């Protein structure tokens, strides 16, 4: 599956946007990773896919360096208004389901792909972190932010909309690829 076909497939699976980018020059930034430590979501140090369970920023940077390109995946979810917490929760669940569908489709064709989602993993009702290994390491998807990446910059680089105004919320993920797959 080449990158153009992958973008088409991601849109078929329900994304509102999918666009390829080069990962050259995309570097983790401690300031974005530090936002995780503020623990606004309540998942810091409580999940294998969130810091510190997902690895140090240096470890995440090493993992990311193995990939040359990515598809930025976007889901725009409508809200009643800017205070619609229920709508935001519904949107997060919709994005998680989308990324799980994408993971299933991508892993068949590109088993070495690295998927990064939005927010903490939601596969298990209670994560085993830090007492036991992850129950589903092949299915767990760390977040873009846990890797210290700037979601706004990635969406801009991909030419996708990202706005913090209006009655909608934007979810962003990445499908990181080692290189263009040869046809045939």
Domain residue limits, the chain: 3-177
Model confidence at 33: pLDDT above 80? yes
| Count of CB atoms situated within 10 Å of the CB of 71 | 26
Mean pLDDT of the chain: 93
What is the reported pLDDT for 180? 60
Q: Output the six-digit token pair for 139.
A: 């299915």
Taking residues 52-76, report their average pLDDT: 96
- Mention every residue, 6+ apart, whose C-beta is less than 8 A from residue 19: 7, 71, 72, 158, 159, 160
Contact 21, 154 (CB under 8 A): yes
User: ∠ CA 129-133-134 to the nearest 5 degrees?
Assistant: 75
Tell me whether strands 168-177 and 114-116 are parallel, antiparallel or unpaired: antiparallel
First to last CA, the chain: 10
Tell me whether strands 69-78 and 168-177 are parallel, antiparallel or unpaired: antiparallel
Instruction: Give per-residue pLDDT as tens, 65-118.
Output: 999 999 999 999 999 998 899 999 999 999 999 999 999 999 888 999 999 999
Dihedral angle computed from the Cα positions of residues 66, 52, 37 and 84, in that order, rounded to the nearest 10 degrees = 80
């Amino acid at each position: 599956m080449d990158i153009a076909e992958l973008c088409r497939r991601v849109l078929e699976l329900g994304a509102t946007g999918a666009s390829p980018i080069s990962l050259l020059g995309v570097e983790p930034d401690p300031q974005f990773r530090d936002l995780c430590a503020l623990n606004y979501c309540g998942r810091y140090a409580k999940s294998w896919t969130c810091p510190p369970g997902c690895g140090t920023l240096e470890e995440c940077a090493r993992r990311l360096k193995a990939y040359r390109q990515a598809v930025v995946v976007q889901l725009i979810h409508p809200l009643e208004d800017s205070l619609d917490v229920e709508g935001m929760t519904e949107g997060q669940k919709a994005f998680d389901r989308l990324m799980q569908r994408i993971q299933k489709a991508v892993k068949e064709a590109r088993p070495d792909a690295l998927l990064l989602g939005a927010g903490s993993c939601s596969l298990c009702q209670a994560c085993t972190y830090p007492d036991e290994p992850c129950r589903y390491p092949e299915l767990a998807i760390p977040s873009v932010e846990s890797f210290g990446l700037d979601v706004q910059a990635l969406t801009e680089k991909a030419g996708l909309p990202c706005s913090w105004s209006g009655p909608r919320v934007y979810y962003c993920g990445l499908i990181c690829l080692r290189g263009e797959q040869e046809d045939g």
